[in-house]
Amino acid sequence: MPLPDGLRVSRVGDWVVACNFSKRALHWSPNAIAKCLLGNADLAPQDVVIWKAEPGR
């Protein structure tokens, strides 16, 4: 599945960091079994969210 325009995602170990660089709100999560550590799946413009993915995913 392609990422929405303006969304940048980085993975560090089992952490997934998503940054919304667009001027509009976005809804995104890495997968259904990830745990949100900071923020939520609804990213405001210029927002950041950090997820912890299940190991091995």
- Where do the domains of the chain lie, and which CATH numbers do they carry? 7-52 (2.60.40.1180)
Which residues is 36 bridged to in the sheet? 51
Q: What is the pLDDT of residue 19?
A: 96
pLDDT in tens, the chain (57 residues): 688 999 999 998 889 999 999 999 999 988 778 899 999 999 999 999 999 987 655
Amino acid 7: pLDDT: 96
- Name the pTM for this structure: 0.83
Rounded to whole angstroms, the Cα distance separating 55 from 57 reads: 6
Given this model, what pLDDT does residue 8 score? 96
Q: Phi and psi dihedrals of 2, rounded to 5?
A: -70, 150
